[in-house]
Amino acid sequence: MSVLKMQNVSVTLGGKDVLDDISLHVAKGEFVSILGPSGAGKSTIFRLLTGAAQHDSGSITCNGQPLATNQHGFGFMPQRDALMPWRRIIDNLTLGLEVQGIRRKDARARVMPLLADFGLDGFTDHYPAQLSGGMRQRAALLRTIAQNRPVQLLDEPFGALDALTRTQMQAWFEKRWRTARWTTLLVTHDVREAVALSDRIYVLSRRPARVIAEVHAPAPRPRLGRPVSAEAHTLEAQLLEILLNQTGETL
């Protein structure tokens, strides 16, 4: 059974068609990515799932229930870490839980066992400005995971990092994902990231966005930290060609 299912979803915003008959699904423990040209409407899908926008037609369900009655099915990590600079790291980590009504003491008890695995042990009393970009992203991810939602929504979580830190974060994340198997939906414009991290990949057209391809990522995990397989190279080239055809560019 799919944890998340979107069926024939269309959205119009500001008088313009944004999503056109989108259908996708994510199974429990699956890692699914959404690729598409800039401005295609990838982030609009997350706005629907988090309740920031409404769809005009179609249906969205989480664990088999209509989204309108299950608005708390998703943990959301935006492009930037969105840590509050005036709060210590421990207070940033527990913020999502406290918003849910969980007492601060109980929220800390849930977060503390995760610190070492996220590389944040010993940094709870630091402020965000005292941490590196990679550490802030790990803190933002821990804050998202700690909420224990059925599905984790990641909106280009590594896109703001420099190339080296981004590669390190991708490898770090994949290692922990293979252990925890968080049900994950990733929005990204990075073809290589999608192929390296995903089980399946949806490709969107230009606006109004439609699903124009659905592919399975090759090779067993782990894929990062080892030479890229010929199959992965081929898939990257195919996906890049699809995307470039949407923007009018050529390889």
Tens of pLDDT, residue by residue over 179-218, are 889 999 999 988 989 999 999 999 999 989 999 999 999 7
Tens of pLDDT, residue by residue over 126-146, are 999 999 888 898 899 899 988
Q: What is the pLDDT of residue 248?
A: 54
Tell me the domain boundaries of the chain: 9-73+151-231, 85-148
Q: What is the pLDDT of residue 250?
A: 45
Looking at the DSSP assignment, which residues form a beta bridge with residue 76? 153
Residue 247 has pLDDT above 80, yes or no: no
**0.85 exceeded by pTM:** yes
Spelled out in words, what is the top-level CATH class assigned to the domain 9-73+151-231? alpha beta
Q: What is the pLDDT of residue 69?
A: 59
Q: Which residue has the higher pLDDT, 160 or 103?
A: 103
Neighbour tally for 231: CB within 10 Å: 12
Q: What is the pLDDT of residue 29?
A: 93
